[in-house]
Amino acid sequence: MARNVGPARTSSRKTATDRSVRPVVYGFETLAIHAGQDPDPRTGAVVPPIYQTSTFAQDAVGSPRSGYEYARTANPTRDALQECLAALEGGRRGLAFASGLAAEDTLLRAVAKPGDHVLIPNDAYGGTYRLFSKVTQRWGLEWTAVNLSNVDAVRAALRPQTTVIWVETPTNPLLNVVDIGAIAGVAHDHGALLVVDNTFASPYLQQPLAHGADVVVHSTTKYVGGHSDVVGGALIVRDEELGEKLAFHQNAMGAVAGPFDAWLTLRGVRTLGVRMDRHCDNAERIVEFLTRHPKVSKVFYPGLPDHPGHETAAKQMRRFGGMVSFRAAGGPEAAIEICNRARLFTLGESLGGVESLIEHPARMTHASAAGSPLEVPADLVRLSVGIETIDDLVADLEQALR
Ligand SMILES: *Cc1c(COP(=O)(O)O)cnc(C)c1O
């Protein structure tokens, strides 16, 4: 398994994740801790070193000593992360980028061309929407925002030039759920690629490639890194040829993850499973509290039996995640008040870290979507439920909603 870190790559010693030794299929948590992370062959370091270097010595012209030449093309620390992410998503190739948006941009340049048409969610992540509406559109890439929870609407929006369907599930911030398998069918009947932004679920809760997706996108800034200390992105694919094409563009466009960022992200990945379980436990308790609160008019969470995407979510997700949104019964001003009064829930953008965050999407993360098909209700509050002591989190919401 190991296209491993470290120079001593000729060692014949078998390693923990080498499937030729032990023909077992490792579980998620085992892969998170071991895939791409065999002890350093030179020193035995159990943690992949940070190869903070831009270039690698060559023994003779045309004979790099280690297989590495220049760190934009490949760096051992980034390779360790890439291999781990590929294993966690059940893919063959993982590629790590400087940010989620850098991953998205690189992907679009690789799989689409001017004149092509892309279907995007009508409640896409704001930055993704901005990339399509302000950047790739000027390059000639057309797009339509559709409700991807409605398979007939997706079929009706297809054009002969549609080459990509771009899915987020659950979506941000309304937590709509898209049936990945159903949309994969529509995409493939049309000869289009299915891209799934899996940032909200993380590979622990949902593995889109297993449901027919061609490409998984992550903002590893969120749950994958999980500690709000690094910005990063990733693409994961099963198809070797597509993987090669993306690797070519990763190198040609250059928006790579640096060694330290890759190392921090990999440090976060090792605890992804236990973190996600606690995010889910805490989110479930908060949903219970909010649904009974008189100052909350509606709670959005795919785990609620009356959520329109509940059955689909139950089919394709292990659990329902750590993101919860709700509408304030008192309207937009009340929503802003709640955000301002919260103490333990830090007021801030982003999500997926160990600490709980609260925000007002209409004025913060989704401000750029005002007046567009992606505008969100002004009385909406979004929570990224962290892994603090649950009673403290509930008490903070109690005082913020008083
Ligand atoms: C944050 C986010 C992105 C963009 O990732 P960056 O790392 O901020 O560039 C893309 N998609 C979703 C769903 C996100 O939450």
pLDDT in tens, 142-185: 999 999 999 999 999 999 999 999 999 999 899 999 999 999 99
Domain of 310, in residue numbers? 275-401
**5-10 average pLDDT score:** 35
Q: How confident is the model at residue 218, as a pLDDT?
A: 98
**223-235 average pLDDT score:** 98
Mark which of 214, 245, 269 sits at the end of a domain: 269
The half-sphere exposure of 282 on its side-chain side, counting CA atoms within 13 A, is 27
Answer left, alpha or beta for residue 350, where phi above 0 means left and psi between -120 and 50 means alpha: left
* 369: its two tokens: 């979507």
CATH number at residue 300: 3.90.1150.10
- Compute the distance between CA of residue 120 and CA of residue 117 in angstroms, rounded to an integer: 10
Alpha helices per DSSP H over 190-230: 202-205
In a domain, 2, yes or no: no
Alpha helices per DSSP H over 220-379: 240-253, 259-269, 272-291, 310-316, 332-341
- Compute the distance between CA of residue 332 and CA of residue 224 in angstroms, rounded to an integer: 32
- Going by alpha carbons, the residue nearest to atom 2 of ligand 1 is 219
Q: Please confirm, yes or no, whether 72 is among the known catalytic residues.
A: yes
Q: How confident is the model at residue 370, as a pLDDT?
A: 82
Which pLDDT band holds residue 389 (cuts at 50, 70, 90)? very high
Burial 331-345 (b: 16+ CB within 10 A, else e): ebebbbbbbebbebb
* The CA-based dihedral angle spanning residues 163, 164, 165, 171, taken in that order and rounded to the nearest 10 degrees: -160
Question: Closest Cα to residue 82, out of 69, 97, 70?
Answer: 97
The half-sphere exposure of 74 on its side-chain side, counting CA atoms within 13 A, is 18
Residue 372 above 90 pLDDT? no
Q: How confident is the model at residue 113, as a pLDDT?
A: 98
The half-sphere exposure of 191 on its side-chain side, counting CA atoms within 13 A, is 7
**225-232 average pLDDT score:** 98
3-state secondary structure (DSSP) of residue 286? helix
Q: Are strands 162-168 and 193-197 parallel, antiparallel or unpaired?
A: parallel
In a domain, 188, yes or no: yes
Residues 201 and 227 in one domain: yes
3-state secondary structure (DSSP) of residue 375? coil
User: Of the ranges 74-83, 106-115, 374-383, which one carries the lowest mean pLDDT score?
Assistant: 374-383
- Compute the distance between CA of residue 381 and CA of residue 148 in angstroms, rounded to an integer: 23
Q: Are 220 and 100 in contact (CB under 8 A)?
A: yes
Identity at 397, one-letter amino acid code: L
Residues 322 and 231 in one domain: no
Which pLDDT band holds residue 64 (cuts at 50, 70, 90)? confident
Residues 150 and 181 in one domain: yes
- Going by alpha carbons, the residue nearest to atom 7 of ligand 1 is 100
Residue 373 above 80 pLDDT? no
Say how far residue 278 (Cα) sits from the centre of its chain.
18
pLDDT 10s digits, 230-288: 999 999 999 999 999 999 999 999 999 999 999 999 999 999 999 999 999 999 999 99
Residues 236 and 285 in one domain: no
Residues 152 and 262 in one domain: yes
For 99, residues 6+ apart whose C-beta sits below 8 A from its C-beta are: 219, 221, 231, 232, 233, 255
* Given 222, 278, 319, 327, the catalytic residue: 222
Mark which of 238, 269, 300 sits at the end of a domain: 269
Cis peptide before 170 (omega within 30 of 0): yes
Q: What are phi and psi of 286, to 5 degrees?
A: -70, -40
Residue 20 above 60 pLDDT? no
- Compute the distance between CA of residue 320 and CA of residue 200 in angstroms, rounded to an integer: 10
For 239, residues 6+ apart whose C-beta sits below 8 A from its C-beta are: 92, 214
Residues 130 and 244 in one domain: yes
Q: Please confirm, yes or no, whether 301 is among the known catalytic residues.
A: no
**205-215 average pLDDT score:** 98
- Compute the distance between CA of residue 193 and CA of residue 230 in angstroms, rounded to an integer: 29
Tally of domains in the chain: 2
Q: Which of 221, 256, 349 to mutate to test the pocket of ligand 1 (most atoms within 8 A of CB)?
A: 221
Q: Which of 222, 231, 368 to mutate to test the pocket of ligand 1 (most atoms within 8 A of CB)?
A: 222
Residue 27 above 90 pLDDT? yes
Chain length of the chain: 402
Residue 16 above 70 pLDDT? no
Stated pTM of the model? 0.93
Residues 245 and 286 in one domain: no
CATH number at residue 221: 3.40.640.10
DSSP assignment, residue 70?
A: B
- Going by alpha carbons, the residue nearest to atom 8 of ligand 1 is 100
In a domain, 46, yes or no: no
- Compute the distance between CA of residue 40 and CA of residue 15 in angstroms, rounded to an integer: 11
* Given 40, 116, 197, 214, the catalytic residue: 197
In a domain, 30, yes or no: no
* Given 51, 68, 125, 223, the catalytic residue: 125
Residues 241 and 339 in one domain: no
Percent pLDDT > 70 in the chain is 94
Alpha helices per DSSP H over 70-163: 76-89, 100-111, 126-130, 151-157
**61-85 average pLDDT score:** 95
- What are the start-end ranges of the E strands in 42-179? 58-60, 63-64, 93-97, 117-121, 142-146, 162-168
Q: How confident is the model at residue 4, as a pLDDT?
A: 39
Q: List pocket residues of ligand 1, CB cut-off 6 Å.
A: 99-101, 125, 127-128, 168, 172, 197, 199-200, 219, 221-222, 231, 233
CA of 11 to the centre of ligand 1 (A): 39
Which pLDDT band holds residue 5 (cuts at 50, 70, 90)? very low
Residues 239 and 298 in one domain: no
- Compute the distance between CA of residue 387 and CA of residue 103 in angstroms, rounded to an integer: 28
In a domain, 13, yes or no: no
3-state secondary structure (DSSP) of residue 246? helix
Q: Which of 99, 125, 200, 365 to mutate to test the pocket of ligand 1 (most atoms within 8 A of CB)?
A: 125
Which pLDDT band holds residue 11 (cuts at 50, 70, 90)? very low
**332-341 average pLDDT score:** 98
Residues 263 and 333 in one domain: no
* 270: its two tokens: 């090792």
In a domain, 31, yes or no: no
Q: How confident is the model at residue 24, as a pLDDT?
A: 72
Residues 122 and 197 in one domain: yes
In a domain, 262, yes or no: yes
Q: How confident is the model at residue 346, as a pLDDT?
A: 98
In a domain, 226, yes or no: yes
* Given 9, 72, 267, 298, the catalytic residue: 72
Residue 44 above 50 pLDDT? yes
Residues 123 and 256 in one domain: yes
Mark which of 246, 269, 292 sits at the end of a domain: 269
- Going by alpha carbons, the residue nearest to atom 6 of ligand 1 is 100
